Amino acid sequence: MRKLYIYEVIRYYPNINGDEFFNVGVRLSDKSKQNKIQFIEEEHLSYIYRFPSIKKEVIDKMIKELKTSENSLNNWYGNYIRFSGEKFYRSKDSLDHVMQKLYEDFIGYKFNQIEKIDKIKIIKKQTKKMIKSEFGDYLKIVQDNMFDFVIESNNIYHRADVGSIGNREHVNRMIWQKEEYCYSNSLDKNKFDFLNISSENRDIAQSFLQKNEIEIIDYDNEESRYNYLRELVQ
């Protein structure tokens, strides 16, 4: 049987005269008067600190005091902290499970996207560094505005994108870029590689890539990246 939950999103306004806010917590309750507050996790706070309007010492102190007084509204930070209107959520899951889902929906999803983007940037940077230090005499990165990498080896051009096979946008981007390239260029001396950084198994995505003659390369750790580049040399 589905239970009725009531939740509010806790919002922090850096400027009480503006409309900009950050979601910093979720308060959840049910009919039996169970209450739980989940504040923003430390790893996600680290991203908020990057904004010029956020002072780390202020928000650290605020979160600490909110945690110690979470069952009372008397010590909340006035206009800087506000609650969204009450909303209802029906689920057969436990209060803890519902809280996890609400946290992801209102807070976690933004930072998960940032983490994925940052991870790809880091991997691209590491790949360039590895090519230069380990394979500089054999591999060459060709300047390109379409693919993440175009690596030349023995007059073969490997046109590659870094992405997760579980991410539809990443997969579609690789397929679309190959189609766009093929529309106006010869396929001679070209290979197309999808450098997969995820351990997920997505049969449909794999099928699409393979049908488009795009090779799927394991690329989720340093050893697999080294092995890929070494194979290009051979």
Q: What local confidence, expressed as pLDDT, does residue 107 receive?
A: 82
Is 164's pLDDT higher than 70?
yes
Please indicate, yes or no, if residue 119 is contained in any of the structural domains. no
Instruction: State the burial class of residue 122 (Cβ atoms within 10 Å of its Cβ: 0-12, 13-18, 19+).
Output: exposed
Tokens of 199: 């351990």
Mean pLDDT lowest among 85-89, 114-118, 216-220: 114-118
Tokens of 149: 């990498």
Domain with 156 in it: 135-233
Average the pLDDT over 148-165 and give the result.
92
**In terms of pLDDT, which residue wins out, 177 or 60?**
177
Is 172's pLDDT higher than 80?
yes
Alpha-carbon distances of 193 from 37, 70, 137, 179, 203, rounded to whole Å: 45, 51, 22, 13, 17
140 and 226 in a single domain? The answer is: yes
pLDDT digits (tens, 9 = 90+) for 5-31: 999 998 888 776 767 788 888 889 888
The CATH code of the domain that includes 175 is: 3.40.1350
Please tell me the total count of domains within the chain.
2
72 and 8 in a single domain? The answer is: yes
Q: What local confidence, expressed as pLDDT, does residue 231 receive?
A: 93
